[in-house]
Chains A and B, each alone.
Chain A
Amino acid sequence: MPVTNMVQALNSALREEMRRDKRVVVLGEDVGKRGGVFLVTEGLIDEFGPERVIDTPLTEAGIVGVAIGMALYGLKPVAEIQFIDFIYEAFDQIATNLSKIRRRSGGMFSAPVVIRGPCCGGVKGGMFHSQSNEAYFVHTAGLKVVMPSRPYDAKGLLKASIRGEDPVIFLEPKVLYRAIKEEVPEEDYVVPIGEARVVQEGSDVTIVTWGAMVYKALEVSKIARSRHGWEAEVIDLRTLFPFDKDAIIRSLEKTGRLVIVHEAPKTLGLGAEIAAYVAENAIELLKAPVARVTGFDAPFPLAHEKLYMPNEARIYMALSRVMSY
């Protein structure tokens, strides 16, 4: 099996899906010759030509709106947002059309668009190259939301997203693009949407997280083990909506303690929904209050991003709190 990073895994997912299905097209800013600013679409224009790899004018509303129209007509567009922080111009299209066209056409029309783009912090990208804005999309009924943390999942989830019948917001933690390399099969596979992955088993506390925070959680679990002998189970949610509630409950049956870690701001972040779900459906499993470790309720900063994002210290503080309750 070839060893690849996440950029290469995403690139091969696109390439294979475009070969498999003529309806798959890619559109976005600088996706052609430039190959996208992170090179996720590198070389696609050479193989599939400018009709299927479309360099667009600089407008996210245009990119998403046009992708919706293409999907209504029968294509399978994969729209790239150069940085997910720039998606807001397209938010009207997403909230008005993308997420609601199935419903508002009585099920007669649908728009299976995949919107993908780099997200999240950790690269000193400042306010508009670092955001984790998944909650807006999770909150919008009609959208599926995905965030892989490793090359294998990136490829399998992107294929599943392209093949699905629903619109998907596909968020790629840019800090992981080249940081993680692993073996990724060449033969066709998908990672089903809606299934979490237990990254590390443990019996004392469950850490539910996603994206680059998976690795922070693993690091802190090592510290917790060596300092206190606590065994943390780490769950990578992978699909943020519909999230894998059963995987969370199964883990809590073992551990009875829940720490949720996400980069996005705390207030109304996805952690709040997960905590509410557990409180409503499985409060009897809990031995301690749920703890959240999140980005602060402030715009993502240029200075001191390491202090703004959940870091080892803050995750460790939360683990200590739930373990010593």
Chain B
Amino acid sequence: MAHHFTAYEVEELLPELKASLGLRRFIDEEGNEVQKVPLGPEPLMRMYITMVRARILDEWLLRLQRVGKVALHAPNVGQEAAAAGSAMALREEDWLFPSYRELAAYIARGMNEEEILDRAMANIDDPLRGSEFVVYGHRKYNIVPAPVPVGSQVPLAVGAAMAAKILGHSVVTMAIFGDGATSRADFHAGLNFAGVFRAPVVFVIQNNAWAISMPSRRQTAAKTFALKGVAYGVPGVRVDGNDVIAVYTTASEAVERARAGEGPTLLEAVTYRLGPHTTADDPDRYRPREEAKAMEKFDPIRRLGKYLKARGIISEKEEREIWSEWGERIERIVKRCYEKPPLPPSVVLENVYSEPTWNLEEQMRELEESLEVMKELGIGVE
């Protein structure tokens, strides 16, 4: 017999629907408190500095890409709150499965500028050994490097969460990805598993209004992305993604829910991509300049800065000092990383298997011989 849902059962879903259709926020774009902020100065300052560091680094990565020192960069500019706020909700032992646009999230997990820049420049100290551009990750910080095909990390985060649960670890995983990625099959598979197995995982959709040239309404006919959780039995919550306090508070609740065995949450952070999709993109082809210009007033860093000043946590002068101190510090790191030598040629055959197979050994010899022949023929390695 088919089950008819009772009015009570339908009623039960309403708060979930409301959360997935709302827009949770604590401070508005002028930094005014619109809802009591449940945080003291320490976490607020940590958020602020994390976002400042990401912004400064972002500008460097753009510059380094232009001079050919970095292959590709996907700016995080304007989305720092969504990235930092969600990653900061994790504990050290938790795992992060980011996408390629989350500078502030790596910093929030403890990755430092030098590790990020070594990676971006694919130099001798690159932790990912020159395997790919635009993605970051590190075992030390439980950050699994993103796959460039968007969204394919979603089920991985679910699997890792299920594994933690099976092994009895109190560990939560988090996947961060874009609005575009929600169209992929992997997103749906991941959410479905998470719901069915009540996996301790938090999904963060960075809805930045664009997927290259596609506005987010081209990805879904649903009213919001958070609503997608409902059909999978995964509560969805929509937050102002440029309000780092809202992102952090909501992500923290989701992480604690997961840790308490109450299952997954889908968080939609509504934000905006202020820059180009990547350094290879030209947004003038599809997006009016005025649109991005008008969105600058929602800048998450400025917003938190205003709030901090209004609450008397920092002064105007201290704010300036934070920027200049980090600016100088990061410039020194950039210079150091810039001078580091490239990776050796043998990296192209590394890490294919746990031990090289016979064909790779043969090919290593071919590679070595080719380096000699290149010299003989006068061909450069780069």
Q: Which of A's residues lie within 8 Å of B, judged by CB? A: 29-30, 32-35, 37, 55-62, 85-86, 88-89, 124-129, 223, 266-267, 296-299, 301-308, 311-314, 316-317
Interface digits, B361-372 against A, CB 8 Å rule (1 contact, 0 not)? 001001101110
Asked whether B131 lies within 8 Å of A307 as measured between CB atoms, the reply is no
Any A CB within 8 A of the CB of B150: yes
Contact of A301 among B184, B347, B363 (CB under 8 A): B347
Bound complex: CA A37 to CA B280 (Å)? 9
Q: Does B148 touch A at the CB level, under 8 Å? A: yes
**B129 contact set on A, CB distance < 8 A:** 303
Instruction: Say how far A269's CB is from chain B's closest CB, in angstroms.
Output: 12
Please report the C-alpha to C-alpha distance between residue A325 and residue B130 in the assembled complex, in whole angstroms.
37
CA distance A129 to B150 in the complex (A): 13
Chain B 183-221 per-residue mask, 1 if CB under 8 angstroms from chain A, else 0 = 111100000000000000000000000011110001110
For the complex of A and B, 6 pairs with smallest distance between CB atoms: A303-B130, A34-B213, A128-B148, A57-B183, A313-B373, A58-B180
Residue from B286, B342, B360, B376 whose CB has the most chain A CB atoms within 10 Å: B286
Residues of B within 8 A of A30 (CB): 212-214, 286
Interface residue B40 (Cβ < 8 Å from any Cβ of A): no
Q: Is B219 a contact of A57 with CB atoms below 8 Å?
A: yes
On whether the beta carbons of B214 and A55 are closer than 8 Å, the reply is yes
List the A residue with the shortest CB-CB distance to B221: A57
CA distance A313 to B134 in the complex (A): 30
Summarize B's interface: helix, strand, loop or mixed. Answer: loop
Majority SS at the chain A contact face: loop
Q: A86-B149, A266-B363 are in contact. List 4 more A-B contacts (CB 8 A).
A: A302-B131, A303-B342, A307-B367, A307-B371
Q: List 20 A-B contacts (CB under 8 A).
A: A29-B211, A30-B213, A30-B214, A37-B280, A55-B213, A58-B183, A58-B219, A85-B149, A88-B149, A126-B132, A126-B134, A129-B148, A296-B348, A302-B131, A304-B130, A305-B348, A306-B382, A307-B345, A313-B373, A313-B379
B71 near A126 with CB under 8 A, answer yes
How close is A85's CB to chain B, nearest CB, in angstroms?
Answer: 7
Determine the chain B residues whose CB is within 8 A of the CB of A304 once the complex forms.
130, 343, 345, 347-348, 381
Tell me the bound Cα distance from A85 to B133 in angstroms: 14
A303 touches B370 (CB 8 A): no
**With known contacts A33-B286, A126-B71, A296-B363, A311–B131 Cβ distance under 8 A:** no
Asked if B374 is an interface residue, CB under 8 A from chain A, the answer is: yes
CA–CA, A147 to B370, complex, Å?
27
CA separation between A29 and B281, bound complex, in Å? 14
B377 touches A313 (CB 8 A): yes
Name A127's contact: one of B132, B185, B367, B370 (CB within 8 Å): B132
In the assembled complex, the CB of B177 is this many whole angstroms from the nearest CB of chain A, namely: 11
* A86 / chain B contacts, CB cutoff of 8 Å: 149
A89 and B374 contacting across the interface, CB-CB below 8 Å: no
CB of A167 to closest CB in B, whole Å = 21
Contact A296 B214 (CB under 8 A): no
B285 lies within 8 A of chain A by Cβ: yes
Judged by a CB distance under 8 angstroms, whether B349 is at the interface is yes
Please measure, in the bound complex, the distance between the C-alpha atom of A302 and the C-alpha atom of B218, giving whole angstroms: 32
A56-B342 Cα distance, complex, nearest whole Å: 40
Q: Which of B133, B152, B180, B219 has the most CB of A within 10 A?
A: B133
Supposing A55-B214, A89-B185 touch, asked if A312 and B379 sit within 8 A by C-beta, the answer is: yes
Asked whether any CB of chain A lies closer than 8 Å to the CB of B127, the reply is no
Q: A128-B132, A128-B147, A297-B352 are in contact. Are A59 and B185 (CB under 8 A)?
A: yes
Q: For residue B360, which residues in chain A have a CB less than 8 angstroms away from its CB?
A: 296-298
Say yes or no: B347 contacts A267, CB within 8 Å: no
Of the residues A57, A60, A314, contact of B370 by C-beta under 8 Å: A314
Measured in the bound complex, the distance between the Cα atoms of B72 and A126 in whole Å is 10
Alpha-carbon distance A37/B379, docked complex (angstroms): 32
Among B149, B374, B379, B382, contact of A128 (Cβ-Cβ < 8 Å): B149
For A301, A303, A308, which residue has the most chain B Cβ atoms within 10 angstroms? A303
Residue of A nearest to B149 (CB): A86
Check A302 against B130 for contact (C-beta < 8 Å).
Answer: yes
CA distance in complex: A22, B213 (Å): 26
Contact among B132, B148, B184, B352 with A59 in the assembled complex (CB-CB below 8 Å): B184
Q: Would A34 and B369 be within 8 Å (CB), given that A126-B132, A296-B348 are in contact?
A: no
Residue of A58, A61, A128, A306 touching B214 (CB-CB under 8 A): A58
Give the distance in Å from the alpha carbon of A124 to the alpha carbon of B349 in the complex.
Answer: 17
